[in-house]
């Protein structure tokens, strides 16, 4: 049976090697951060529980996460991170024989067009209103909205060039004509490489601050639904947009 191949003294070098390998494979900074977190968490857990057999340690680690109410998606990510660590960093020849957790088949909670209009009406800041309107109208993830630059928008053609989106892929999506005039006024005087939506201090807005704005407006609008407004989309205006096309 395989044992955990880990020496505490070399932890820093192993984590650095893991990070470098993930970067070389073009994983996003967020994915790299998550993988490193779960690898460290797993190694800490196996030491605390004094489990030396690899498969047993991983199984107990994942069960512990499940007992704490972690989602199947989180458990799968943790498992994949640990597998990557053993396979690519430690070069362990032994297969990790564990099944993936079943993903939830619940349908996402979708906001209607009327719901979105209510939410937007409760946002006092014009820039923030435009962000939510653009995310919903163009089917953008919230991270894509904050990364949008002036040069990415073609108001004349009503299109947006979304660069390095999910999976590091580019795509072209529709630009909502209803907010064209407002966006044109917002970007007037900006350079092509400037962000369309900047923070008050300059530079890119944070997605966490927009999450707070969205949920606050949702509460003010009296909407009882709790859609996700997350870093990969509002389940979102993007999901609402995709659902509306069906």
Are both 234 and 121 inside the same structural domain? yes
Are both 68 and 150 inside the same structural domain? no
Are both 148 and 206 inside the same structural domain? yes
Q: Report the domain count for the chain.
A: 2
Listed in sequence order, the residues at least 6 apart from 51 whose beta carbon sits closer than 8 Å to its beta carbon are: 4, 57, 60
Give the pLDDT confidence score for residue 92 in this predicted structure.
86
Give the pLDDT confidence score for residue 233 in this predicted structure.
42
Domain that holds residue 14: 8-89
Distance CA 136, CA 71 (A): 26
Per residue of the chain (246 residues), what is the pLDDT tens digit? 455 555 444 567 888 999 999 999 888 888 899 999 999 999 999 888 888 888 889 989 998 888 888 888 888 899 999 999 999 998 888 888 777 666 666 655 667 788 888 989 999 999 999 998 898 888 888 888 889 999 999 999 999 999 876 666 788 888 999 999 999 999 999 999 999 999 888 778 888 888 888 888 888 988 876 665 543 344 444 444 444 333
Listed in sequence order, the residues at least 6 apart from 172 whose beta carbon sits closer than 8 Å to its beta carbon are: 159, 160, 161, 162
Are both 221 and 137 inside the same structural domain? yes
Are both 239 and 118 inside the same structural domain? yes
| 159-162 and 229-230 beta bridge pairing | unpaired
Inside any domain, residue 65: yes
Maximal CA-CA distance, the chain? 66
CATH of the domain at 79: 1.10.150.130
Are both 160 and 232 inside the same structural domain? yes
Are both 126 and 210 inside the same structural domain? yes
Give the pLDDT confidence score for residue 105 in this predicted structure.
62
Distance CA 115, CA 118 (A): 5
Are both 61 and 132 inside the same structural domain? no
% of the chain residues with pLDDT over 90: 33
Are both 154 and 37 inside the same structural domain? no
Are both 72 and 140 inside the same structural domain? no
For residues 122 and 135, is the Cβ–Cβ distance under 8 A? no
Are both 229 and 140 inside the same structural domain? yes
Give the pLDDT confidence score for residue 243 in this predicted structure.
40
Are both 76 and 144 inside the same structural domain? no
Residue with tokens 């009503």: 158
For residues 116 and 237, is the Cβ–Cβ distance under 8 A? yes
Summarised one tens digit per residue, pLDDT across range 108-131 is 566 778 888 898 999 999 999 999
Last residue of a domain, one of 36, 57, 89: 89
């Amino acid at each position: 049976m395989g044992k955990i191949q880990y020496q505490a003294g070399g932890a820093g070098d192993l984590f650095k090697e893991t990070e470098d390998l993930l970067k070389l494979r073009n994983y996003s900074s967020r994915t790299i951060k998550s993988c490193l977190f779960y690898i460290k968490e797993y190694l800490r857990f196996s030491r605390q529980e004094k489990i030396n057999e690899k498969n047993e340690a991983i199984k107990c680690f994942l069960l512990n996460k499940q007992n704490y109410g972690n989602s199947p998606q989180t458990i799968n990510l943790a498992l994949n991170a640990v597998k990557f660590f053993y396979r690519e960093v430690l070069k362990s020849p032994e297969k990790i024989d564990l099944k993936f957790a079943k993903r939830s088949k619940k349908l996402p909670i979708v906001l209607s067009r009327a719901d979105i209009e209510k939410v937007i009406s409760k946002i006092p800041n014009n820039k923030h209103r435009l962000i939510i309107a653009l995310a919903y109208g163009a089917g953008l993830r919230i991270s894509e909205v904050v990364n949008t630059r002036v040069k990415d928008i073609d108001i004349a053609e009503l299109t947006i060039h979304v660069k390095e989106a999910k999976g590091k892929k580019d795509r072209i999506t529709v630009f909502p004509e209803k907010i064209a005039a407002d966006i044109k006024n917002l970007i007037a005087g900006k350079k092509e490489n400037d962000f369309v939506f900047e923070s008050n201090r300059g530079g890119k807005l944070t997605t966490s601050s927009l999450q707070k704005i969205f949920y606050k407006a949702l509460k003010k609008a009296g909407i009882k639904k709790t859609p996700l407004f997350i870093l990969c989309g509002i389940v979102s205006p993007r999901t609402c947009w995709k659902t509306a096309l069906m």
